[in-house]
């Protein structure tokens, strides 16, 4: 069972980074480049309102990992597992779970597994997430354009943000 | 054992003398429900116990889902015993044990698979690993005769697929959703319309009550595609709400719900009918939890009527996830003596086409 005390879980973030995504093609490129950096146990915590493009991002991310076949929404089944890519992909949507249910489901077994976890609506289960992770929030800035607000927690993810050429956010760019 | 975990072994057992009146104990734990059933001859439901035991529309009003393995573990033995008791059969009378091997949530599936293996081993009867979607499709055999080739439209919370059955027990997926399943699309639009999750049935109801309709786009995709996509439609609903609010007006949720439903029903039923014609289907099978949706059910019935195409649809108790449908599908393999080995593995993603019977 999960330790509910938050000690150590909320390691200090290295600050926030932003990336302007002017088109769907930009979103796809960003997701694919991020996938290239992923290693076993990587956790991408994805947030954004309905219609912000989370599933579109996930499809491109899966393609970046080389996952074959159709990747579609995991909202109903909560977790969809994909083999056959460079790494296994655990694509989750925790929208319909309470923290207790998510904990009982044993999400940590996925996070600690050999694959990459991409969790939609991750903020809803924040206390259950791995201590180190990359938060990405997609915000609508127009019909096609989005702003990706990234918050790396842990040195590895901070290095990724720099490698991806993200711009450090000054003051603004609240993740939530 | 034959190859990798979950590899199916073919054992040509001597079952011919029992195959008509055979009793299958079926178990389904792929997602929210723990369910067990006793089915005779693949057609007659002697019992069908589902953990939530309430009508589908109430269930979708927010009963806590049994997604956690622990909840399935707590329920499974009780549900299996209840299925046997209600059917009035002893364990020893069971001829085979059928279980959903996937797709679904791996932790939930495991509970059913482990219980089924234990029972099959203890009773010394065959084990039949069964595909969840084959179960939804063959729920139709519990209500009527399936005529081949048949076309199945599977619409549920997690699945939206067009499946061709050229002959009994053979499955070919000809179309599927590229993003949201129909059920997910309804629930997400319901969120946008401020209904609590899961609100799909509220949207269906609102759409039927609305007198006006805001016309929304249809995602037909490529000319020859039988795939579906509902994310653009969801975005159109959100955009319409924003546009109206920017003008300082209140959006008409009823007109939006009706516009959304019209778009979904139009695309889903049109593609199903086009596929039925192209592949020469002699019957249309509607199945899955969203078969309760009035919009889809009524339009499809009307179109099938015009085309002279017989349509089957199970009652609601057999449309939402349940074990009787697993027993109905497992009967395909029982009659052919195609059983699973005891190293059967639950699998979150498993191919329907590969589950087809061996001809």
Of B68, B179, B238, the CB nearest to A73: B179
pLDDT less than 50: residues of chain B: 1-7, 10, 12-17, 54-64
B309 near B277, Cβ under 8 Å? no
In this complex, is the C-beta atom of B191 within 8 Å of any C-beta atom belonging to chain A? yes
β-bridge partners, B228: B177
Interchain pair B349, A55: CB under 8 A: no
Model pLDDT for residues A79-124, shown as the tens digit of each residue: 999 999 999 999 999 998 888 888 888 888 899 999 999 999 999 9
The C-alpha atoms of residue A67 and residue A60 are separated, in whole angstroms, by: 10
From chain B, pick out residues whose CB is under 8 angstroms from the CB of A83. 349
Interchain pair A96, B65: CB under 8 A: yes
B115 near B143, Cβ under 8 Å? no
Q: What is the predicted pLDDT for the residue at B55?
A: 38
DSSP secondary structure letters along B22-80: -EEEEEE-SSS--EEEEEETTTEEEEEEESS-S-HHHHTTTPPP--SHHHHHHHHHHHH
**Which range marks the domain in which residue A92 is found?**
27-168
For chain B, domains (ranges, CATH) are: 16-139+319-355 (3.30.420.40), 147-313 (3.30.420.40)
From chain A, pick out residues whose CB is under 8 angstroms from the CB of B183. 76
CB under 8 Å to A45, separation ≥6 — which residues? A119, A122, A123, A126, A129, A133, A134, A135, A136
Residue A13 has pLDDT above 90, yes or no: no
Interchain pair A104, B68: CB under 8 A: yes
pTM over 0.95: no
Q: What is the predicted pLDDT for the residue at B269?
A: 97
Give ipTM to 2 decimals.
0.80
B98 near B330, Cβ under 8 Å? yes
Q: How many CA atoms lie within 13 A of B213 on its CB side?
A: 12
Interchain pair B105, A70: CB under 8 A: no
Structure tokens given for B239: 């955009």
In a domain, A121, yes or no: yes
Among residues B117, B45, B56, B94, which one has the least CA distance to residue B325? B45
Of A73, A78, A80, the CB nearest to B67: A78
Model pLDDT for residues A34-56, shown as the tens digit of each residue: 999 999 999 999 999 998 999 99
Interchain pair A75, B184: CB under 8 A: yes
The C-alpha atoms of residue B300 and residue B302 are separated, in whole angstroms, by: 5
More confident residue, B287 or A7: B287
Distance from CA of B218 to the nearest CA of A (A): 17
Among residues B355, B132, B356, which one has the least CA distance to residue A76? B132
Of B31, B71, B197, the CB nearest to A77: B31
Interchain pair B181, A76: CB under 8 A: yes
In a domain, A9, yes or no: no
Best residue of A69, A75, A121 to probe chain B, by most B CBs closer than 10 Å? A75
In this complex, is the C-beta atom of B354 within 8 Å of any C-beta atom belonging to chain A? no
In a domain, A14, yes or no: no
In a domain, A12, yes or no: no
From A101, which residue of chain B is nearest by alpha-carbon distance?
B68
Q: What is the predicted pLDDT for the residue at A4?
A: 37
CATH number of the domain enclosing A42: 3.40.50.300
Chain B, residues 33-62, CB within 8 A of chain A, namely none
The C-alpha atoms of residue B108 and residue B133 are separated, in whole angstroms, by: 16
Q: What is the predicted pLDDT for the residue at B14?
A: 46
The C-alpha atoms of residue B323 and residue B339 are separated, in whole angstroms, by: 18
The C-alpha atoms of residue B254 and residue A62 are separated, in whole angstroms, by: 37
In a domain, A65, yes or no: yes
Residue with the two structure tokens 């499946």:
B163
From chain A, pick out residues whose CB is under 8 angstroms from the CB of B219. none
Q: What is the predicted pLDDT for the residue at B74?
A: 81
Chain B, residues 92-111, CB within 8 A of chain A, namely 103-107
- Radius of gyration (Cα) for chain A, nearest Å? 15
In a domain, A146, yes or no: yes
Q: Total domain count for chain A?
A: 1
Q: What are the φ and ψ backbone dihedral angles of B298, each rounded to 5 degrees?
A: -70, -45
């Amino acid at each position: 069972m999960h330790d509910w005390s938050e000690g150590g879980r909320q390691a200090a973030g290295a600050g926030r980074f932003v990336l302007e995504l002017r088109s769907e093609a930009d979103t796809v490129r960003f997701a694919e480049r991020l996938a290239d950096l992923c290693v076993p146990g990587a956790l991408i915590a994805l947030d954004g309102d309905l219609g912000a493009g989370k599933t579109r991002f996930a499809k491109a991310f899966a393609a970046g990992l080389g996952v074959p076949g159709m990747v579609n929404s995991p909202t109903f089944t909560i977790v969809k597992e994909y083999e056959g890519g460079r790494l296994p992909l655990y694509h989750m949507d925790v929208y319909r779970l309470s923290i207790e249910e998510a904990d009982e489901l044993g999400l940590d077994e996925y996070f600690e597994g050999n694959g990459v976890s991409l969790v939609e609506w991750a903020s809803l289960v924040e206390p259950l997430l791995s201590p180190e992770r990359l938060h990405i929030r997609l915000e609508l800035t127009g019909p096609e354009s989005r702003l990706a607000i990234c918050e790396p927690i842990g040195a590895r993810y901070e290095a990724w943000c720099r490698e991806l050429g993200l711009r450090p956010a000054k003051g603004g760019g609240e993740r939530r | 054992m034959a190859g990798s975990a979950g590899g199916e072994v073919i054992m040509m057992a001597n079952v011919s003398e029992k195959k008509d009146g055979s009793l299958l104990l079926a178990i389904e734990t792929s997602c929210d429900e723990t369910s067990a059933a006793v089915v005779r001859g693949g057609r007659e439901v002697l019992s069908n116990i589902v953990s939530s035991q309430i009508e589908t529309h109430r269930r979708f009003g927010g009963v806590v889902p049994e997604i956690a393995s622990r909840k399935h573990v707590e329920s499974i033995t009780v549900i299996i015993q209840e299925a046997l008791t209600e059917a009035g059969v002893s364990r020893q009378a069971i001829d085979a044990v059928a279980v959903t091997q996937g797709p679904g949530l791996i932790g939930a599936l495991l509970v059913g698979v482990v219980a089924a293996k234990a029972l099959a081993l203890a009773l010394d009867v065959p084990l039949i690993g069964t595909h969840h979607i084959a179960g939804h499709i063959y729920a139709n055999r519990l209500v009527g005769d399936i005529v081949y080739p048949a076309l199945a439209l599977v619409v549920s919370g997690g699945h939206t697929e067009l499946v061709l059955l050229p002959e009994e027990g053979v499955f070919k997926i000809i179309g599927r959703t590229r993003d949201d399943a129909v059920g997910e699309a309804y629930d997400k639009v319901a969120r946008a319309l401020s209904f609590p999750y899961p609100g799909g049935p509220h949207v269906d109801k609102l759409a039927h009550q609305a007198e006006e309709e805001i016309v929304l786009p249809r995602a037909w995709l490529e000319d020859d595609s039988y795939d579906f996509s509902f994310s653009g439609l969801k975005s159109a609903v959100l955009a319409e709400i924003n546009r109206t609010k920017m003008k300082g007006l209140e959006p008409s949720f009823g007109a939006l719900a009706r516009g959304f439903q019209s778009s979904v029903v139009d695309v889903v039923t049109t593609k199903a009918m086009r596929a039925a014609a192209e592949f020469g289907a002699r019957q249309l099978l509607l199945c899955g939890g969203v078969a309760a949706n009035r919009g889809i059910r009524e339009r499809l019935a009307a179109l099938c009527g015009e085309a002279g195409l017989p349509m089957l649809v199970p009652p609601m108790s057999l449309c939402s996830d349940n074990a009787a449908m697993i027993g109905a599908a497992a009967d395909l393999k029982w009659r052919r003596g195609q059983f699973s080995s005891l190293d059967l593995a639950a699998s979150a993603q498993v191919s329907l086409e590969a589950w087809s019977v061996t001809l």
